[in-house]
Structure 1
Amino acid sequence: MQFAHFDAGRFLADYWQKKPLLIRNPWRSWANPVEPDELAGLSCEEDVESRLIVQARGGWKVEHGPIPESRFGKLGRNPWTLLVQAVDIHAPDVAALIAPFRFIPDWRIDDVMVSYATDGGGVGPHFDQYDVFLIQGLGRRRWQVGAMCDAATPLLPHDDLRLLADFDVAEEWVLEPGDILYIPPRMAHNGVAIGDDCMTYSIGFRAPSRSDLIENWCGDLLGRLQDDDRYEDPEPAPQDNPGEISAPAIAKLHAMIMETMGDRAAFARWFGQHNSAPKYPEVDFRPEQPVTGRDVQAFIADAVPLTRNPASRFSFIRQDADSLLLFVDGQCFELAGEAAALAERLCAGGRIEMDQALGRSAAAMELIVALFNQGSVAFETGD
């Protein structure tokens, strides 16, 4: 799917992380990518994250998946909402929704959550810590937005939902199929289904917190440090007061920390692997039959296109004009020459027409074999 009209440059300058924007059906041709029954089927599966939210007596009750199939026949007349996370992993047509939004770098894109709601269904007034594009798939939904929130914003007591204690509506719109509403981080918002068969596709973006970065980066460092890497002072000067921690000692202790944590190259490599790691590592996309370099050469000779797994995360960090670090599903590949050029093409698009010259590049062959065997790419054989 692609937009017929949308000014990405103006959006980034005037709206991104600043204010909401209603985009009336910008698609060349809008078609709802997944049916309600398919979404319900996904929510019944063990390896799919889902929630069922039922409104009753003025409150919201949350049930976590997998949802028993029989549950849907017992929901009654109370408004309810089904939320299924990362549907793009399981449905290629949903993954295709991400393509028009790739004016935002891929490393920032999280997943596509899909919701189905009956008349009056919703999850209540709340705010998120990340940017989100809300695409109306089927039916109609009224969206309301309010003020910006922060850690001090009062919330209602609830174990599963971050419901706002107070919500003052500043603007509201009714979205029809194909319409999109952009909501910046921390902005209060509330969506309510108008009629049954209301489906919304939420494209969310990653926004690593400082605490998450520090915790995970330090955890990685700790796993690689040696116990005998310790403070030393072979020529200490006499101190007037033995109770003082001297400025030179503090400086040396601080330097021990900063020399390790301040290694920018090591941090970049760690972040690329951390950020590209699969969101659901328990989902195994590895092929039943691994390929060899000879198999890959045969595919290339037959001009079989190479495609990315929509569930895989690809990104790279350039080292110099001819080399880069490629990160795919938590793995790091140091590449140069033809292999680096191939990596850039893989990161730029989801389908590659293979160049016969690649079959003569050992490094490119090695990369394709590794990516195929870890389930990140496949050859489009039509089987």
Structure 2
Amino acid sequence: MQLDLNGITPKQFLEQYWQKKPLVIRQGFKNFKDLLSAEEMAGLACDEMVESRRVFKANDEWQAEFGPFESYEELGEQDWTLIVQALNNWVPEAEALIQCFDFIPRWRLDDVMVSYATPGGGVGPHIDLYDVFICQGSGRRRWRVGDLGPHKEFAAHPALLHTEAFDPIIDVELLPGDILYLPPGFPHDGVTIEPSMSFSVGYRTASAKDMVSAMADHIIDNDLCNEQIADPDRVISEYSGVVDNTDLERIKQQLFATLDDKLVSEFSGRYLTQSKCELDLPEQPLGFQSLDVTEQIKLQPLIKLGGLRCLYFETSVADGVLYINGEQQQLTAGNEAFIAMLCDTQQLTSADLTPWLDNSQVIEQLTDWVNAGYWYFDDID
């Protein structure tokens, strides 16, 4: 699968469009094929581990239901949509789609969402707070996109936040292989013309409020930042009830001093690698030994689990620090090339791992991750 941005480079896209304005990319994918069939998608939505919902109208009122679902016959043949989140957690083929957008770092990735809709189906006019590349699969869908502005939102249903009517700056019919890029804040509405599927690659970050709240929990849980304000150079205060500018600066400095690179990276590494949806992990650790892994890697690549989040920071990778699935992992210093390869690539081949096959700590840690289900061999007898 190869992405064609219609003559512009990824650098130009980031400079001119990313978080700035929408873009229609005609035939961004040549000969695009659905990553799964509608039947396979319906099967996923029957699984209680998979996050799914369907949206439709009943008596001219918007309705939303959450899976798992047992049947779709009662919905008829038009005016409804089925949505499955985190397709990349369950369908390995979704990885190839994500890789096409890897000029944006994975820590910004939310997930790949798949939507199947019958004629007339959609989720209504709404505004998203994340960037998304809507990749049209089979069928056709009409999209209307409005400009930024003070659009009034309202609850069309407890699970559906809609926006009032808007004047479109884009009114387009997407065909298989077409892509619509939408930055946050632009109202949009998609209505299916014929049975169709679309695959949305979404990128989001948490709000400052959510991050600060989670940071506070991290500080409390780990008993950090217990230092108190020191003011040995205090001068006489003329007014006992005032916090003067000097003291305000002391308070600010105490708060800012806590947010050093070490604390921020340790917290955000855990925070950003937490999966929002359940991963397809084994209930019990697998029984691989280090020798099993080293022998098997000679026969086939080791594959990263779909949806697994792992990252490293430039400030700490030389110290052997990385983050996987919400946890900080520690290797010995000097393994930055291994850590980068682990986090940057989806598959580890024998050639990739050759420099580390004699490193017992690296192989033992890798074996632990294989036993946890984070990396796996596709074909084991």
Same-fold status (TM-score > 0.5) = yes
Which residue of structure 2 aligns with residue 42 of structure 1?
Answer: 44
Q: Give the unaligned 5+ runs of structure 2.
A: none
- Residue 197 of structure 2 aligns to a residue whose secondary structure is strand
- Residue 139 of structure 1 aligns to a residue whose secondary structure is coil
Asked whether the equivalents of residues 319 and 325 of structure 1 are also in contact (C-alpha less than 8 Å), the reply is no
Q: CA deviation at 1:290?
A: 3.1
Which residue of structure 2 aligns with residue 276 of structure 1?
Answer: 273
Asked whether the equivalents of residues 290 and 364 of structure 2 are also in contact (C-alpha less than 8 Å), the reply is yes
1:143-158 maps to which residues of 2 (within 5 A)?
A: 143-149=143-149, 153-158=152-157
Q: CA deviation at 1:225?
A: 2.6
Do the aligned partners of residues 251 and 316 (structure 1) sit closer, same or farther apart at CA in structure 2, a change above 3 Å counting? same
Range moving further from structure 2, 330-339 or 41-50: 330-339
Asked whether the equivalents of residues 142 and 173 of structure 1 are also in contact (C-alpha less than 8 Å), the reply is yes
Q: CA deviation at 1:227?
A: 10
User: TM-score, length-normalised on structure 1?
Assistant: 0.88
In 2, the alpha carbon distance for the partners of 1:3 and 1:223 equals 44
In 2, the alpha carbon distance for the partners of 1:146 and 1:218 equals 38
- Residue 181 of structure 1 aligns to a residue whose secondary structure is strand
1:246-257 maps to which residues of 2 (within 5 A)?
A: 250-257=248-255
- Residue 296 of structure 2 aligns to a residue whose secondary structure is helix
Range moving further from structure 2, 303-312 or 152-161: 152-161
Which residue of structure 2 aligns with residue 178 of structure 1?
Answer: 177
Do the aligned partners of residues 169 and 313 (structure 1) sit closer, same or farther apart at CA in structure 2, a change above 3 Å counting? same
Asked whether the equivalents of residues 80 and 121 of structure 1 are also in contact (C-alpha less than 8 Å), the reply is yes
Which residue of structure 2 aligns with residue 334 of structure 1?
Answer: 330
- Residue 40 of structure 2 aligns to a residue whose secondary structure is helix
Kindly tell me the number of residue pairs found equivalent between the two proteins.
377
- Deviation sequence 1:27-57 (CA, Å, 0-9, x none): 3542111111111111121111111111234
Which residue of structure 1 aligns with residue 92 of structure 2?
Answer: 92
- Deviation sequence 1:315-345 (CA, Å, 0-9, x none): 2112378445322211222345663222211
- Residue 123 of structure 1 aligns to a residue whose secondary structure is coil
Which residue of structure 2 aligns with residue 352 of structure 1?
Answer: 348
Are 1:292 and 2:289 an aligned pair? Answer: yes
Q: Percent identity?
A: 33
Range moving further from structure 2, 197-206 or 243-252: 243-252
The CA RMSD over aligned residues, in Å, is 2.7
- Deviation sequence 1:282-329 (CA, Å, 0-9, x none): 7534665232323223334x3432221122112211237844532221
Which residue of structure 2 aligns with residue 198 of structure 1?
Answer: 196
In 1, the alpha carbon distance for the partners of 2:199 and 2:88 equals 10
In 2, the alpha carbon distance for the partners of 1:227 and 1:184 equals 37
Which residue of structure 1 aligns with residue 374 of structure 2?
Answer: 376
- Residue 281 of structure 2 aligns to a residue whose secondary structure is coil
User: TM-score, length-normalised on structure 2?
Assistant: 0.89
- Give the aligned residue type for 1:266: L
- Give the aligned residue type for 2:39: D
- Deviation sequence 1:45-85 (CA, Å, 0-9, x none): 11111111112343311111122x23x11113551111111
Q: CA deviation at 1:251?
A: 4.7
Asked whether the equivalents of residues 84 and 115 of structure 1 are also in contact (C-alpha less than 8 Å), the reply is yes
- Give the aligned residue type for 2:161: R
Asked whether the equivalents of residues 154 and 166 of structure 1 are also in contact (C-alpha less than 8 Å), the reply is no
Asked whether the equivalents of residues 55 and 121 of structure 1 are also in contact (C-alpha less than 8 Å), the reply is no
